[in-house]
Structure 1
Amino acid sequence: MTMKIVAFVAVCILALCWVQLASASEVDSEVGTQMKWSKRPRVRVRKELRSLTQAEYSLLVSGLSTMLSVPTAQGQALYGKQYKAYDYFIVKHAVSVNDPRGDQGHAGSNFMTFHRAWLLELELSLLSVVPELRALPYWDITLDNSKGGRYFNTPNYIFSSRWAGSLDSSAAENFAVKDGLFGWRQVGKFNWEVYGEYAPIYNGSLTTGLLRSPSSTLNSTYVTRFPVSNLFKKNTSMTMGDTTVPIPADFDWGYSAADYWRCTDAAAYRNWTAWSYCLDITTVPQELLKQYMPPGAALLHPGVHWAVGSLSEQGDMGDMFDVATSPNEVLLFFGHHANIDRNNMIWQANLARRNPAAASRQAMYGYPASSADYPYDNPGCYLNDVVNANFRFTDIFGPSAVKPSGFTHADVLWGTRPGVSSPYTYDSMVRM
């Protein structure tokens, strides 16, 4: 009897291994054009910034500093083809915003798929320099909430010298970010020699040539944060894309855990656009605002951008506020968007748990397949369109999965299904 049990267990283990390999093969055929995995690669685990060890912290600083200083061609000779200089990511983000078809990375269903692809590409570039880091960290803003956040006003507060530097800026320093990991970081100019092919869409500020929005007249060469109080002096609403939304009287960038976790509720938010409405009111089409005002966390994404960058007395946008080039705020930008991505992945997992068919190739979490499904997205932003086609993502799943024609929104979703095909996960995928 004992031998029969042992044999049965062995068969089960072999069957489980076969299922895992079959799952990897499914990803191969659906996402990559060159994937040849003999086994599933180790899943990267993204950790909250403040949970990094001292060694990991040092690796993060070293890797980002390299990307900020070493050009792409030189870096690829040293670290391989996955390496891209940081200005590459700023330009890529700006091209998405200024696309002649309409914003390809914001204010619609495409927001999360674009930023997920952007984060994957950034992560692989960072890990090409410091592979020991193992994964891109994220920033959980609820931990910095002024009402009970674990790190509020502690040495690990995100707006401290150890991390992103002071939130409060000073006119004496022309509102430059003067401390933190990247204090006194200078904003680069558009490099025509490297990025000339994208110049018809984006070539920097038309006034200064700096990597800011074409309409930006901000001439400070340093990453800039204006006082958050400026938001309310002349502004009771904000316009993002085609949507103008009111600024709540009790606006505060520091959201609570309850607000954050509300959007992971798959019973309340049953499809892709419903989830995006919960996280970001600026993704709600203007004509739907009156009938649909999301409760709770609807400014969780844009609120951080508005508060950190804010506006000058003259109306210039601080760098985190500048939609096109907000990645100039290095740590806060990727950290914040990775945390939004974490929320989305938890929601995806919850939806699949409630209704497995929702995660199928046919349903794809309810992401709109065409204007017949959802008439509000810009051309180029539907399910089978190439993400940011004028500056494609071609190697976000690693060197063995290159797709020269560019990954589609469907590819990104299929290749990052939580617990199935995603090459990464987060250290907290359940409510604590």
Structure 2
Amino acid sequence: MPVRQNILSMPLNEVKKFTSALNVLKADGTYDDFTRRHMNAMSTATPAGSPRNVAHQGPAFLPWHRASLLELENALLTVDPTLAGLPYWKWEQESALNGGTPRRSRFWSADYVGSDGVSTSGNRVVDGPFASWVAILHQGSTGTFVPRSTPGLIRRLGRDPGGTTTFPNEAQVTDAVDNYSVYDAAPWDATATGFRNRLEGWHGGSGLHNQVHLWIGGDMLAGTSPNDPVFWLHHCNVDRIWWSWQARYGVAYKYQPVSGGPIGHNRGDQMQHLRAPRQVGSVLDIRTLGYRYV
């Protein structure tokens, strides 16, 4: 059974095994397919014309990303069956552990995911395990993807003009888990009051999930945000927080809507743009999916 751990608590040799497996997936093209699927999910409105899409601003936000995380984890384990599982980055601890400055974390070092791009032309990340990576960019006019002309992921930690300088903390995560016992509610979008919308970041103060994307900036701002492998560590933590909420309030029956909501977001609906078809309800209990968090 895969055991998902905080990456900053793992031995460095285990971190290296994980990042090496990611590099194998990047080299054979498997990884870029995950980036394409995420972008295509963001480009598929539910319904047409709505800001809600297959995987965001609606109830399926958490199930869709859980399914995608599981698919990546399985791909990684195919490369290296000795991996413990997909790690998570416990981002809500970063300010408290680093003097109020998350960018001081050893997470942003060559041993883990590489640094900020602050010292380089174009804010490129030129150290760490992903220094040679070439991002793929979505061409909105044609719907195609092309490689960026220069290697190096883009990060602007806390300093992107389109982002934010603030960072979520443990009290805000606790608030989401303790004070939002309803999973979601009509109109099932970014205005809804419920745990999903609180954790996704559209309701209730701190942006949580959204805020982390905005703070990292660069490649994490776009629909092709999986270009940066930090995406998976971030979303694995989001999934861990959801599981802690589920363990408190109930697993399957707490999901809403069961029916009558937007297409693709009801419990029995099939989620689009995954490697394999899955219903929303098939990913509600991680115990049946074969992994756990520590």
TM-score range with shorter-chain normalisation? 0.7 to 0.9
Say which of 92, 98, 109 aligns to 1:142. Answer: 92
- Partner amino acid, structure 2, of 1:339: N
Deviation at 1:385, TM superposition (A): 1.3
Structure-2 residue corresponding to 1:425 = 292
User: Which of 195, 220, 227 is the equivalent residue of 1:328?
Assistant: 227
Instruction: Return closer, same or farther for 1:321/1:62 CA change in 2, 3 Å cut-off.
Output: same
Shift of 1:382: 2.1
Matched, 1:275 2:195: yes
Equivalent positions of 1:338-349 (< 5 A) are: 338-349=236-247
- Residues 68 and 274, structure 2, Cα contact 8 Å, conserved in 1: no
Name the TM-score, length of structure 2 as normaliser: 0.84
Instruction: Give the drift of 1:65.
Output: 1.1
- 1:412–1:306 CA distance, 2 compared to 1 (3 A): same
In structure 2, do the counterparts of structure 1 residues 110 and 230 end up closer, same or farther at CA, with 3 Å as the change threshold?
same
What is the deviation of 1:44? 2.0
> Could you list the per-position Cα deviations for residues 136-186 of structure 1 after superposition, in whole angstroms to 9, with x for gaps in the alignment?
1110113321x444996898621122222222524x522111222212421
**Counterpart position of 2:110:** 161
Q: Deviations over 1:218-271 (max 9, x none)?
A: x6553212464343xxx7xx8xxxxxxxx7xxx512x22222222222xx2122
> TM-score normalised to the size of structure 1?
0.59
For 1:367, what is the secondary structure of its paired residue? Answer: coil
Closer, same or farther: CA 155–181 of 1 in aligned 2, 3 Å:
farther
Pairwise mapping of residues 318-397 of structure 1 onto structure 2 (< 5 A)? 318-322=218-222, 324-330=223-229, 332-352=230-250, 359-360=251-252, 364-371=253-260, 374=261, 377=262, 379-388=263-272, 391-394=273-276
Q: Shift of residue 127 of structure 1?
A: 0.5
How far does residue 100 in structure 1 lie from its aligned partner after superposition? 5.0
User: Conserved in 1, the CA contact under 8 Å of 2:133 and 2:153?
Assistant: yes
Distance 1:224 1:89 in 2: 18
Q: Which residue in the other structure is 1:91 paired with?
A: 36
Of 65, 69, 77, the residue aligned with 1:115 is 65
* In 1: Cα distance, 2:264 partner to 2:61 partner: 12
Task: Label 1:118 to 1:392 Cα distance change in 2 as closer, same or farther (>3 A).
Answer: closer
Distance (Å, rounded) in 2 between the aligned partners of 1:168 and 1:189: 18
> Could you tell me which of 162, 166, 176 is aligned with 1:252?
166
Q: Which runs of 5+ in 2 are unaligned?
A: 185-193
**CA-CA distance at 1:423 after TM superposition:** 0.9
Q: CA–CA distance in 2 between the matches of 1:141 and 1:260?
A: 10
**3-state SS in 2 of match to 1:121:** helix
The share of aligned pairs that are identical, in percent, is 26
Code of the residue aligned with 2:169 in structure 1: it is S
Query: Equivalent residues in 2 for 1:8-407 (5 A)?
Result: 43-71=1-29, 85-101=30-46, 103-145=53-95, 147-149=96-98, 157-170=106-119, 172-188=120-136, 202-204=143-145, 209-210=146-147, 221-226=151-156, 228-231=158-161, 252-253=166-167, 255-265=168-178, 268-273=179-184, 274-282=194-202, 293-295=203-205, 298-309=206-217, 318-322=218-222, 324-330=223-229, 332-352=230-250, 359-360=251-252, 364-371=253-260, 374=261, 377=262, 379-388=263-272, 391-394=273-276, 406-407=277-278
Runs of 4+ displaced beyond 3 Å: 147-156, 199-202, 219-222, 226-230
Q: Residues of 2 paired with 1:188 and 1:365: CA distance?
A: 37
Q: Tell me how far 1:126 sits from its aligned partner.
A: 0.2
1:410 to 281, 284, 289: 281
The equivalent residue for 1:402 is none
Structure 1: how far apart are the matches of 2:280 and 2:196?
15
Which structure is larger by alpha-carbon Rg, 1 or 2? 1
Residues 58 and 260 of structure 1: CA distance in aligned 2, closer, same or farther (over 3 Å): same
* Contact 2:123/2:154 (8 A) holds in 1: yes
Shift of 1:393: 4.1
Distance 1:175 1:54 in 2: 26
Deviations 1:38-77 (Å, cap 9, x if unpaired)? xxxxx32101101222331221122111111124xxxxxx
| Aligned residue type for 2:195 | W
